[in-house]
Amino acid sequence: MAQNGEKYTEIKTVRTSEIIDVSADSLWKIINQPDISVWSTLLDSTKFFGAEKFKGVPWSKRVSIVNTKGHHESHEDLIVYDPVNRIIKFASTKFPRFIISNETHYEVIDYGHNKSALKTTTLMNMKKFHAFFLKKPMLKVINKNGDELSYDIKYYAENEDVSPSKKDRIKELEKDEANQKSKYRIVKKKLKSDTINVSADSLWAILREFDKVSDWTSTLDHSEGAGEAKFEGTTCNERVCVSNHKKLVEELIMFSDEKKELAYELTEGAPGFVKLAQNHWKVYKISQNKSVVEMNVTMHLTKFMGFILGRVITKTMTKQVLLVLNDLKIYAETGEISEEKKIRISKLNKNKK
């Protein structure tokens, strides 16, 4: 929070929803979940991650896509989690320079049997000069968002379904996604390894180290982790790779130790006509000491270049994935790198001389 009252103006709003016909405990179970985009029209999606700060809460940060004209990201840290008093508080970590701090507090009010309400408090400190011009429009936006939030949660809590406005927003997003897909040629390829003679746990132990794949595959010369981990059990959010002297950056978009699967998206290094490139890995148990891994690759190519190069790209992609699977089988079963990887290392060493 800002401490110098001479330089900053505090903007504070406190809003309490209408009475919601569910118990305070039921309402708390909804509001204390990290992904409120499930029911809030204001948010289109939410990712939550970060180390545990409060007992029993396996996340401490969240990033949401806000449904506004700018469609911006909202970054928040969890700063208070009080299940006894049903209070949860967040502090924004990214905002325009003229905003010094911004917090959102939620408190569930108990009004007796199957009666409750949500109290929302916003505390913002803004540079005085900017506050002179922006305080009124900022308050207008905050109040509007508060009204929408109260409406959405009341409807969701009482009906166990999303509000009509949320349903309309979901339809808009689905329509936008369909329109985007119609602009591209979509290439999909599902490939599964031969049976690998190690347990599913052993195979997953190799694959889950997302940033160390270049240790065993000949398709990458170097890889290292980068960025703060967003999924429990990981040590990074991205991996920076070098393949044939070309830099690639790939971001984890899904990770689960329990399900033994992960997915990542290429965010840097793709040709301009490649609009999306994702890969999804999943390990399956065959028996106690036998397993397989399935890789699902999805690419979106611009229509023109996709028409011209689609087959070539699919053929090249298939060849690369099969090479990765072969390298993986050898490494998992023997603990040694493949002949292809040895040849690649030898070639790189010669080029260094």
Q: What token pair was written down for 180? A: 């985007």
Q: What token pair was written down for 262? A: 């992960």
The DSSP bridge partners found for residue 241 are: 223, 248
Distance CA 94, CA 344 (A): 43
Distance CA 156, CA 226 (A): 38
Amino acid letter, residue 268: E
pTM above 0.85, yes or no: no
> Which pLDDT score is estimated for 71?
62
Distance set, CA 35 to CA 38, 65, 291, 329 (Å):
6, 11, 34, 38
How many alpha carbons fall within 13 Å on the CB side of residue 328?
29
**Which pLDDT tens digits describe the chain residue by residue (353 residues)?**
444 445 889 999 999 999 999 999 999 999 999 999 999 999 999 988 888 899 989 899 999 999 875 567 899 999 999 999 999 999 999 888 899 999 999 999 999 999 999 999 999 999 999 888 999 998 998 999 999 999 999 999 999 999 999 999 999 989 888 877 778 888 889 999 999 999 999 999 999 999 999 999 999 999 999 988 888 888 899 999 998 878 999 999 999 999 999 999 999 998 888 989 999 999 999 999 999 999 999 999 988 888 888 889 889 899 999 999 999 999 999 999 999 999 999 998 887 76
> Which pLDDT score is estimated for 3?
47
Q: Is the Cβ–Cβ distance between 99 and 113 less than 8 Å?
A: no
SS (H, E, C) 143-164: HHHHHHHHHHHHHHHHHCCCCH
Instruction: Give the full edge-to-edge strand order of the sheet including 261-268.
Output: 184-192, 290-302, 274-287, 261-268, 246-256, 238-243, 222-226
> Which pLDDT score is estimated for 179?
79
Count the helix, strand and coil residues of the chain and give each as a percent rounded to the nearest 5.
35, 35, 30
Distance CA 54, CA 73 (A): 24
Angle at 156 between CA 150 and CA 159, to 5 degrees: 130
The DSSP bridge partners found for residue 288 are: none
Residue whose C-alpha is closest to residue 208's, from 184, 186, 229: 229
